[in-house]
Amino acid sequence: MSGLMTRANRRLPLAAAALAAFCVPALAQAPAKEPTKEPAKEEASAPQTYESAITNGKGETIGKIMIRDGANSLVMRVTVQPGGLPPGWHGIHFHAVGDCSDPEKFEKSKSHVNHDQSKHGLLNPDGPDEGDLPNVYAAADGSVNAEVSSETPLTGEGGLRDGDGSALIVHANEDDHTTQPIGGAGPRIACAVIK
Ligand SMILES: [Cu+2]
Ligand SMILES: [Zn+2]
């Protein structure tokens, strides 16, 4: 939308220049339209934000998630401090209930957010479910600095912050994005409440 507008605006000086020889007042009016439109547009697209601590299997805080939710996509930054996770790839998903109070297994967070019985997996032809996300990589020191996106909204219909909330779960192994029910990602080793 903004791209189209910008392109249209960029064409204006040419057209205006051609017109100028015949009609000078038209040139003077054109720029006055812009300031009234732009501020309203920015307000409407301001992202909602949400932050939450990530806890490990001992209930200790190891990092945080920071979510920004815009009109068409949600973007989540995942930060884990050194020593927080075993090095290597880890599957992460949005699970259906915002409860991380059982750190031994994190089973209270239930299964993946999935309102329409989709198959699991970003690479599955019958998927993905609404909880599916790309893997994150923990460096040799166990830290993570990653950013992933999702079409699942933070609030509203089908949103993560529904009545019982949701949880971001970090798994021990990577998600192959294809097999059921969780892409072979293994045990749940960390959790962040989204409520
Ligand atoms: Cu999961
Ligand atoms: Zn899934």
* Whole-number pLDDT of residue 36: 52
Tens-digit pLDDT profile for residues 134-160: 999 999 999 999 999 999 999 999 999
Contact yes or no for 56/189 (Cβ under 8 A): yes
**30 and 108, same domain (yes or no):** no
So what's the pLDDT on residue 107? Answer: 98
Q: Is residue 47 within 8 Å of residue 191, measured between CB atoms?
A: no
Please tell me whether residues 129 and 40 are part of one structural domain: no
Report pLDDT for 43.
Answer: 55
Ligand nearest to the CA of 106: 1
Question: Measured between alpha carbons, how far is 94 from 114 in angstroms, rounded to an integer?
Answer: 9
CATH number of 111's domain: 2.60.40.200
* Phi, psi of 95, rounded to the nearest 5 degrees: -100, 160
pTM: predicted TM-score of the whole model, two decimal places: 0.78
Output the CA 104–ligand 2 centroid distance in Å: 21
- Asked if residue 151 and residue 80 are part of one domain, the reply reads yes
What is the whole-number distance in angstroms between the Cα of residue 49 and the centre of ligand 2? 23
**Residue 185 and residue 107 share a domain:** yes
Domain that holds residue 162: 48-194
Same domain, 19 and 115: no
**Same-domain check for residues 82 and 7:** no
**Does residue 97 share a domain with residue 6?**
no
pLDDT at residue number 46 = 82
Q: Ligand 2: distance of its center to the CA of 110 in Å? A: 12
Distance CA 39, CA 68 (A): 20
Tell whether 69 and 118 lie within a shared domain.
yes
Residue 139 CA to ligand 2 centre (angstroms): 24
Question: Which stretches in the chain have pLDDT values below 70?
Answer: 1-45
Whether residues 108 and 61 fall in one domain: yes
Based on the structure, what is the number of domains in the chain?
2
Residue recorded with tokens 């409407």: 44
Same domain? For 60 and 148 the reply is yes
Same domain, 190 and 101: yes
The answer on 152 and 78 residing in a single domain is: yes
Report pLDDT digits (tens) over 103-117. 999 999 999 999 999
